[in-house]
A = this chain, B = another copy of it.
Amino acid sequence: MEEGAEVRNKQVIFKDYIKGALKESDMYVKTDTTRKLELPEGAEGVLVKNLYLSCDPYMRLLMTKRDTGGVFSSYTPGSPLTGYGVAKVLESGNANFKKGDLVWGPKIPWEEYSIINNTESLFKIEYTDMPLSYYTGILAMPGMTAYAGFFEVCSPKKGEYIFVSAAAGAVGQLVGQFAKWMGCYVVGSAGSEEKYMTHLLITSLGCALEQVKLLKNKLGFDEAFNYKEEQDLDAALKRESTLTLTWRLIVSDRCFPEGIDIYFENVGGKMLDAVLLNMRTHGRIAVCGMVSQYNLDEPEGVRNLMHIVSRRVRIQGFAVFDYYHLYSKYLEFVLPLIREGKITYVEDIVEGLENGPAALVGLLSGRNIGKQVVVVARD
């Protein structure tokens, strides 16, 4: 592409603030925007070509005009979505970046080409022997979230009982494997949302089955269950060992008959309430997110908080950006595990920016199998 050329700049535009579940029609693909491929005179940012975009649950929060506590600000109707992503520098007005650099960062617009002025939020990609898409997941924000959330917030000890919800997602799959690496017992839950099962029954059941199989057979979780199949989440967590004589081929289950030491919380609501009934003394709950609540106008009430007194439980909300100072330490930890095949990292990759809206809707309804990524361009 010639420098200074005017090129098409396809975008995914956020229509307007929403209530309830995100639908594809809440976004649209705009194909008639163009961008001149050069930085304005004196600009201190970078001009980038966007390569990979990350679909993350928190993005739903930015689609409602509400106080999210100032961490991220809500999207602007009529403008492109933004999120984590990987991009290639085409031109730089900043001494820290040069043409050809690969970067990842939190404010990549959902479009083909962007000018990013806030270069302080960008990380330069040093290890290019890894798949670039990993810099939307295991080697970027979700990986750091799993690492900091598990090792720093949960203070895990060998042999402890760990429960991870949304365990087939970008963060959950890593927390489970980090916990196994430490010698813990790990159970994960997964499952598509019920509202989708009425419309997309077969797809959703299929996804949930795939997710549960993934956790047990490929990611090394000791046990996994599809929470949408459980009438009673408390009973599911307490389950010791039963023959499940349905069409499912699972013949025994053992979750937490002795209780949970650590809960890595991604979903909130009813699951948190059931977990509170099963926490062990001095247990810890690291709250990464509460995706089951993001679509609700009024969040569900959590009733079992009293149990945190008698069991002396700690609940800690955390955000990954408090831990980015550990990023190079994390890479030292995780890169050898990836290279030696000791970590399995599963991605759910969708080709083409125009398929981004469907991918994001799928993520928010729990239909992704692994980290949800959208490819804009491969280089």
B268 engages A310 (CB within 8 Å):
no
Q: State the CA gap A298–B303 with chains docked (Å).
A: 8
Q: Looking at chain A's contact residues, is the secondary structure mostly helix, strand, loop, or mixed?
A: loop
B69 engages A310 (CB within 8 Å):
yes
B317 engages A290 (CB within 8 Å):
no
B306 engages A299 (CB within 8 Å):
yes
A311 engages B268 (CB within 8 Å):
no
Contact of A308 with B by CB under 8 A: yes
A289 engages B314 (CB within 8 Å):
no
A318 engages B309 (CB within 8 Å):
yes
B318 engages A71 (CB within 8 Å):
no
Which residues of B sit under 8 angstroms from A34, Cβ to Cβ? Answer: none
Q: State the CA gap A318–B317 with chains docked (Å).
A: 17
Q: State the CA gap A106–B306 with chains docked (Å).
A: 21
Q: State the CA gap A302–B299 with chains docked (Å).
A: 9
Nearest CB in chain B: distance from A46 CB, A: 29
Q: Mark A281-312, 1 if CB is under 8 A from B, else 0.
A: 10000011110010000111111111111111
Shortest Cβ-Cβ A-B pairs, 3 listed = A301-B301, A69-B310, A308-B317
Known: A69-B281, A299-B303, A315-B315. 4 other contacts (CB 8 A): A70-B310, A287-B308, A298-B303, A302-B303
Binding site for B on A (CB under 8 A): 68-71, 268, 272, 281, 287-290, 293, 298-319, 322
Between-chain CB contacts (< 8 Å), 19 pairs: A68-B310, A69-B307, A268-B306, A272-B305, A287-B308, A287-B309, A288-B309, A289-B309, A290-B306, A299-B303, A299-B305, A301-B301, A308-B316, A311-B317, A312-B319, A313-B316, A313-B317, A314-B314, A314-B316
